[in-house]
Structure 1
Amino acid sequence: MKRVPEKYAELAAEQIISPELLNQIIQESIRTNAPIEDLLLAAGVPRHELLKALTGFYHLPFLEYDEGLLASSDVLALVDLEQLKKELWFPLLREGDEAHVIVSHPNDRKLCEHIKNRLRVGNLHLLVALPSDLIRLIENHQDVNPHFPPAAGRTPLARLRTWLADHRNLLAQHRTSLAKGRTGLAFVRTGVSFISIGLVLLRIFGVGYLIILEAALVALGLAMTVDGIRWYLPARKVGHECLRYPVTEHTFGTTILEVKTDNERPGFVRTPPIQNAEQLRGRWNRLSPIMKRRFLAIDRTDLADERTILATYRTAMARARTGLAFARTGIASIGLGTALLRQFATGPWTILDGFLICLGIAVIFEGVLWYIPGRQAGKECHRTLQETPNHHPIWDFMFQPFHSQVSVDDLPPILAIKGTYGPGIWGTTGLALERTLIAERRNVKSRLRTIMARSRTGLAFIRTGTSVFSVGMGLLVYFGLANPFWTVFNVVLVLIGTLFIADGYYWHLPAMRIKKQFPYCFGDMEIVLPDYGKPSPGWKKVVFSHEDL
């Protein structure tokens, strides 16, 4: 019915458009399946003339898109908004056995019967609207900007941000568990040291007056070792859980992060670039307040996504540090077993020496399994942080520099304020901007925390390298160069330790340079407690001073 040319004959009769051009547009509509009304508007037909022609043809009042036009909630519960976009109709109100409905093709009887059945009414009061206005009205009720998918609505985005916050909570619990596991490994290393000292004294002095001290050292070492293992086992369980989280490119509103549920584990993908989204964002000062708030909700979701990615990197690097703690424990065990094996003659105690060496090898192998993924995460993290400065800050979108304005219409609007007004924010749009700016500052701190986590991982490399270097150098100095095999073994340990130390400084020093650029690590630190019911100068602050630590 939309291809019937009679309803546009008035346009040709009043010479608003030539019959030839009208026929061309009709043929193009048939070929591309695009609404004729959209093509007529693109051809320069005035909107009011097109609506006048439709009203005269259908003998119905017309309705244009109005952001403030809202349908009742009870009638929206009966329809699927995505399906309405395809069918080109929208219900406004249902009263008794009647309903007020906006349609694009009122003379489609089959569609009218379908509307009656869907709304469960007997009579319809129809209004005619352009397809573009009708779709935009439906999108407004989906709380999305023009041409955006339903996932861009503020409610789905809020739900997604809540899930991301919960996921970051889970990652924080993992990092705490891993820190507890590393503390447990420190217990184990200390316990093994106590046991070793007690047994060495026993091997040197035998059973005598030192047996009480030797027994106390061994018992204390066993208690610390068992306690350390109890702390470590939960961390080991956490360490083997999958931490994969997709890294997506943030586009500040031209693509949307969507949730794709696969079995019980949700996945995240980005939509393809949305039609005209970049141009819409570029004309920021022409957007209505609600359209700005929708973009800001997308921005906050992108920022939450970035924080989750960085939290995943930090957790992976915490695993690497735990793996390096394993390695140090294994190195200490191997070094001790090797020293005992070379120092004392072969005998029953040799079994203990071999056990210490084998245990150290097994622990180092376990640590390497944790270390390799963490090191890869550190490299990816470094690359991600290097790309971050290329992103535009939120403030540049809200208040563009004057030199980048291309039109007088794109200049910021003059705020309707007076000198007698008190300080505050600009209603809900200003509130959304303030929340987004706070989220952006949180991201800056999250990036700094990730940089510092990379620095701590570098320091863990240095500690591990120092342990390996010290074991190799100690054996080399104590036993000398008499045995070629052991000499090569000691030199290899020294070289491996040196490589770890150099790699650790490669991770640590750049992070220190970046840390000096931020005020959060020096002097007093303030944390603002937002109270959106008050102007920002009146918000309370919590001050942390080095003197209080």
Structure 2
Amino acid sequence: MATETNPYSALVEDGVIDAALLDAAQRSATARGVDLERVLLQEYGVSRCELLTSLSRHYDCLTVQYDERLPVPSHLFAGLDGKVLRAGGWFPVMQLGETVVIAAADPRSEALREQVRQLVPAADYEFRVALNEDVCWYIQDYLHAKAELLIGIERTGLAYWRNTMALWRTKLACHRTGHARARTAMKLLRWGLAMVALSNALTRMDHNVLAPHHLAVLVAGIVLAGVGLFDYLKVRGSRMDLPCQSVLMDITEKNIRFTERYHLDDAPARAANEPLLARLTAAIPQYCTILRPVPASKERTHLARERNLLAAQRTIAASHRTSYARARTGLSLIRTGVSFIGLGIAMNKLLGGGPYSITDYILAGAGFLMLIDGLLWYLPVHKLKYGMGREIRDP
């Protein structure tokens, strides 16, 4: 007799499970205080579709199954209390014209229908049966439960953050490309000045200012130096769209702040005097999971969180690379500047004064300017790397 009033009696009629097993499942669910659907799903291997088919025949209505892709209009669930919905076992899932479709665990319940009419104003209602588990998933997703309970719509937010981080990494890549271009221009400038110095030295040693090969080397050096200087000043003037080093760190920090909600609760504490990037790196633990949750979409959400965490790690690494690219540019300038200061002084001492010794001062002056510019590039990175870290501020 138990199967006649049981909403899952159609399972017996269809031969999915026999009456004795259904009665045993009912007794087990009652004794443990859990839903019968949970026992059938997890312990008796009954599929979700078979359960929904049985419920559809019992309640004589259509069914609705949880689907993360279902675009539930926000005005349907705005202001609803998740606890009330969970206790009532229903959730508004769509609107067809003026009819609101309600996913309900017990569509025949008059108390449920009255509650729907009070909380979701509409011209008409259509009640469709759903598994209680599916109703809970809708409530968790759309009423913003804790992060570990969210399933579908959370991935939209995660995708937004991945795009945000990807955009910032693209900008960082452009910054590094600008630094590479600046270093290439500096090499041209260095070659050009070296050829000018060579021509000057040959001329002063041979005392023949009109020697064709001396003039050719001089002209080639001036052209190379001019091209290199023009290209470098062009890049330097735009600053490669690169903010100052501290701003770069701040932007990187803001781009990965979302991870606090998911992964930073158990992050190891780091000393306040450590560099910001080092503390950000330590704050994101290694995270790798192999999950088999139900529904399968829930596993995709966990994997989406993992992708975001890996993207955050790549963003921090990109910031490191950009800082090192800036430091390399500065060191290249410092190295070139010191070289030409030394070259100018050496030529003046070895070759003596004369009408062409002005070139020695030009080389030394150019080297001094390169040295100053290189220090401007390098020192901000050096300060942040060695003991100039700041506290990570609360958002």
Distance in 1, matches of 2:225 and 2:356, equals 21
Q: Counterpart in 1 of 2:33?
A: 46
Counterpart AA for 2:73: A
After superposition, residues 81-100 of structure 1 pair within 5 angstroms as: 83-85=79-81, 88-89=84-85, 90-95=91-96, 97-100=98-101
TM-score, scaled relative to structure 1 = 0.44
Taking a change above 3 Å as real, the CA distance of residues 298 and 202 of structure 1, as seen in their structure-2 partners, is same
> Structure 2 length normalisation: TM-score?
0.59
| Cα drift, residue 255 of structure 1 | 5.5
Structure 2 residue 227 is the aligned partner of structure 1 residue 213? no
1:229 aligns with 2:229: yes
Give me the CA root mean square deviation: 4.7
1:91 match: secondary structure: strand
* Residues 1:354 and 1:282: Cα distance change in structure 2 (over 3 Å): closer
Which residue identity is paired with 1:213?
Answer: H
| Aligned residue number for residue 516 of structure 1 | none
Matches of 1:70 and 1:288, distance apart in 2: 9
Judged with a 3 Å threshold, the aligned counterparts in structure 2 of structure 1 residues 283 and 190 are, in CA distance, closer, same or farther, namely closer
Structure 2 unmatched ranges of 5 or more: 1-30, 37-57, 86-90, 266-279, 388-395
Equivalent residues of 2:192, 2:225 under 8 A apart: yes
Matched residue SS, 1:231: helix
Q: Deviations over 1:473-518 (max 9, x none)?
A: xxxxxxxxxxxxxxxxxxxxxxxxxxxxxxxxxxxxxxxxxxxxxx
AA in 2 matched with 1:328: R
1:303 aligns with 2:290: no
- Within the candidate set 76, 79, 94, 2:75 is matched to 79
Identity value in percent:
25
Deviations 1:127-161 (A, max 9, x none): 99999985642334589876557997122222322
Shift of 1:348: 5.3
Q: CA deviation at 1:240?
A: 6.1
Q: Is 1:317–1:375's contact at 8 Å kept on the other side of the alignment?
A: no
Instruction: Summarize the Cα distance change of 1:107–1:85 in structure 2 as closer, same or farther, 3 Å threshold.
Output: closer
Looking at structure 2, the residues matched to 333 and 283 of structure 1 have their Cα atoms a distance apart, in angstroms, of 59
Residue of structure 2 in register with 1:532 after alignment: none
Matched-pair contact (CA < 8 Å) for 2:190–2:225: yes
Deviation at 1:195, TM superposition (A): 0.6
1:71–1:149 Cα change, 3 Å: closer
**CA positional deviation for 1:300:** 0.8
- The question of whether the paired residues in 1 share the 8 Å contact of 2:175 and 2:242 is answered with no
Are the counterparts in 1 of residues 80 and 119 from structure 2 also a CA contact under 8 Å?
no
Deviation, 1:331, is 1.2
Match of 2:177 in 1: 176
Give distance in 1, aligned partners of 2:317 and 2:187.
27
Q: Is the 8 A contact 1:142 1:150 kept in 2?
A: no
Counterpart for residue 347 of structure 2 = 340
Match of 1:364 in 2: 371
Return the offset for 1:110.
Answer: 9.5
After superposition, what is the alpha-carbon deviation per residue over 1:432-472, rounded to whole angstroms, capped at 9, x for unaligned? Answer: xxxxxxxxxxxxxxxxxxxxxxxxxxxxxxxxxxxxxxxxx
Could you tell me how far apart the structure 1 residues matched to 2:111 and 2:305 are?
Answer: 36
1:442 equivalent in structure 2: none
How big is the shift at 1:219?
0.7
Alpha-carbon spacing, 1:208–1:311, altered in 2? closer, same or farther (3 Å): closer
Cα distance per residue 1:161-192 (max 9 Å; x no partner) = 23333333333333233222212111111100
The question of whether the paired residues in 1 share the 8 Å contact of 2:200 and 2:356 is answered with no
Q: Cα 1:170–1:71, aligned 2, differ >3 Å: closer, same or farther?
A: closer
Pairs within 5 Å for 1:270-281: none
Change (3 A) 1:285 1:206: same
SS in 1 for 2:120: helix
Q: Secondary structure at the match of 1:320?
A: helix
Match of 1:99, SS state, is strand
Distance (Å, rounded) in 1 between the aligned partners of 2:290 and 2:197:
72
Which 5+ residue runs of structure 1 have no aligned equivalent? 1-43, 50-60, 257-269, 274-280, 381-549
Aligned residue runs from structure 1 range 510-549, under 5 A? none
Contact 1:101 1:126 in 2 (8 A): yes
1:326 Cα deviation from its structure 2 partner: 0.7
- Give the letter for the 1:227 counterpart: V
Q: Deviations over 1:405-455 (max 9, x none)?
A: xxxxxxxxxxxxxxxxxxxxxxxxxxxxxxxxxxxxxxxxxxxxxxxxxxx
User: Any idea what SS the aligned residue of 1:79 has?
Assistant: helix
Match of 2:277 in 1: none
- Determine the C-alpha separation between the residues in 2 that align with 1:239 and 1:196: 30
| Greater mean deviation of Cα atoms: 326-335 or 170-179 | 170-179
Q: Are residues 1:69 and 2:69 paired?
A: no
> What letter is aligned with 2:220?
L
Paired residue type of 2:321: R
Q: Which has the higher contact order (CA 8 A, sep 6+)?
A: 2
- After superposition, the Cα gap between the structure-2 partners of 1:151 and 1:98, relative to the gap in structure 1 and judged at 3 Å, is closer
